[in-house]
Chains A and B, each alone.
Chain A
Amino acid sequence: KAGVTQTPRYLIKTRGQQVTLSCSPISGHRSVSWYQQTPGQGLQFLFEYFSETQRNKGNFPGRFSGRQFSNSRSEMNVSTLELGDSALYLCASSSSDTSSGNTIYFGEGSWLTVV
């Protein structure tokens, strides 16, 4: 079956603009989470959505937001972009099982460059 699909794969934005990234989870998965990957900070958790509700949230400013639709697809938005927001944004999906061993599957990511 198809994996986690993220669009766009690459984008360049100007400081101060906003950006929206999209994610389609694996069919049947209702949990979608987002991670930011940078060389300096590594992989950091942004937020998780389950059944259109935010279930967990990482330690990021309010400029970072997300939502999930009834078909489990998710979007994340970053407003007032800063140079430091340049990163690989990874979307991940998993089934509704919340046990610690439940596998989380990642997409290939969206590369955001802020200039």
Chain B
Amino acid sequence: GDSVTQMEGPVTLSEEAFLTINCTYTATGYPSLFWYVQYPGEGLQLLLKATKADDKGSNKGFEATYRKETTSFHLEKGSVQVSDSAVYFCALRHSGYALNFGKGTSLLVTP
């Protein structure tokens, strides 16, 4: 079946460092791909999405490109802030079905 694999955390970075969180997936067909973020004590917020190969999703300085050839959707940000500290979830979804999440990657940004 479908699955999403994320890099193990926690990831600890200094403020203004470059961020990459790896995400790879296994799926049949052509799912849409998502990144959600969860701040402490809160629910999930959609960060960005891409619905077809080579699409780039972007939001709040974060970017991810749907790479079908490598089945990847890596999350990047050029300069992280303390306020970016959260847990990041990669997910895929086929039409008519539920979101299938990775295990999540915890990010801690220190001043």
Q: Please give the residue numbers on chain A whose beta carbons come within 8 Å of chain B beta carbons, in ascending order.
A: 4, 33, 35, 42-43, 45, 48, 55-56, 58, 90, 92, 98-101, 103-109
Q: Least Cβ distance of B52 to chain A in Å?
A: 8
Q: Number of A-B pairs whose CB atoms are under 8 Å?
A: 56
Nearest to B50 among chain A residues (CB) is: A101
Instruction: Give chain B's interface secondary structure class.
Output: loop
Nearest to B102 among chain A residues (CB) is: A42
Q: In the complex, what residues of A have CB within 8 A of residue B45's CB? A: 106
Asked if B69 lies at the interface with its beta carbon under 8 angstroms from chain A, I say no
Assess the A58–B98 pair: CB atoms within 8 A.
yes
Range for the number of chain B residues in contact with chain A: 20 to 34
Asked if B99 lies at the interface with its beta carbon under 8 angstroms from chain A, I say yes
- Segment of B14-22, B78-86, B89-97 engaged in the interface with chain A: B89-97
**16 A–B contacts, CB within 8 A, in A order:** A35-B98, A42-B101, A42-B102, A42-B103, A43-B89, A43-B104, A45-B98, A56-B98, A98-B96, A99-B95, A100-B32, A100-B94, A104-B93, A106-B43, A108-B43, A109-B42
Q: Least Cβ distance of A41 to chain B in Å?
A: 9
